[in-house]
Amino acid sequence: MGTTKSEHFTDTQNEMATLAKAIGHPARIAIIEYLIKVDSCICGDIVNELPLSQPTISQHLKELKNAGLIKGNFEGNAICYCLNEEGFNKIKLFFNHVNTYLENKKNECC
Amino acid sequence: MGTTKSEHFTDTQNEMATLAKAIGHPARIAIIEYLIKVDSCICGDIVNELPLSQPTISQHLKELKNAGLIKGNFEGNAICYCLNEEGFNKIKLFFNHVNTYLENKKNECC
DNA sequence: CTTTTATATCGTAATATTGCAATATAAATA
DNA sequence: TATTTATATTGCAATATTACGATATAAAAG
């Protein structure tokens, strides 16, 4: 009890859920938006941009990285993170599917 | 401690996080996909489609509804749920922003 | 009115997430 | 080498999520 029953769903469903879940926190949205805004890697300065402690931010970065939404490179003693297109492309596939449906759906029951 | 510090983020960031979080569970992905597959409201039959108990499914439907991703109508003694375009349009705005960036980004640091 | 059918809510246990202080690690610089 | 700088990890408390049995609710069917 308490654990998501991942084994009962398809790999695609679990993967999509993992991606969405990783995006499902305002701090992580803020990180993604910041990466877009500065159009460059973030090396440390993100800690000054967010109202959260360094360990908490490090944890959020790790989750985004594990989900495949950002990737990081070592640059001397700093680490640079930027968006990982691969993860966002998977999300795009899912929402393209949803949006195509919504644009063409026939039933008007609700 | 333990609670997301929503008050430190913008309304848009919090709203987007709520939407993504609602999608961030394989059962809720499965519900969305099923709604698309059958191209009609679901009235009870979703309980037979998912490997989860009726109360658990009811809870997942509630979360999708609260997030604005599905909407429901009473049909006699049943309730019919279908996708709510409004919620998905908000998500679309966010990912359009991300995708536009990814297609045009200049820096190649990572 | 009673029973059936469909769905929601309550209560609770198991687990996951969030956040941070303290500490570790590891490269850069003095 | 010692110190500084940047980031990660550990450990823990607070809270949230997931799941389900039991029960409530409410309309339909009998």
Write out the two tokens for A86: 């691969």
Residue A77 has pLDDT above 90, yes or no: no
| Whole-angstrom distance, CA of residue B43 vs CA of residue B10 | 36
Q: Across all residues in chain A, what is the average pLDDT?
A: 91
The DSSP call for residue B42 is B
For the segment B80-96, what is each residue's pLDDT rounded down to a tens digit? 899 999 999 999 999 99
> Which residue shows structure tokens 């449906």?
A101
| Pair B36, B81: CB distance under 8 Å | no
Residue B109 has pLDDT above 70, yes or no: no
Residue A108 has pLDDT above 70, yes or no: no
The more confident residue out of A74 and B90 is: B90
The minimal CB distance from A26 to the residues B14, B50, B52 is found for: B14
Full-model pTM: 0.93
Give the E-state strand segments of chain A in sequence order.
70-75, 78-83
For the segment B3-58, what is each residue's pLDDT rounded down to a tens digit? 999 999 999 999 999 999 999 999 999 999 999 998 877 767 899 999 999 999 99
| pLDDT band at B100; cut points 50, 70, 90 | very high
Q: What pLDDT does B78 receive?
A: 79
Within 7 Å: CB of B52 and strand D? yes
Candidates A3, A16, A80: best to mutate against B (most CBs of B within 10 A) is A16
Residues, chain B, total?
A: 110
| pLDDT band at A98; cut points 50, 70, 90 | very high
CA within 13 Å, CB half, A19 = 23
Q: What pLDDT does A109 receive?
A: 67
| Whole-angstrom distance, CA of residue A94 vs CA of residue A74 | 32
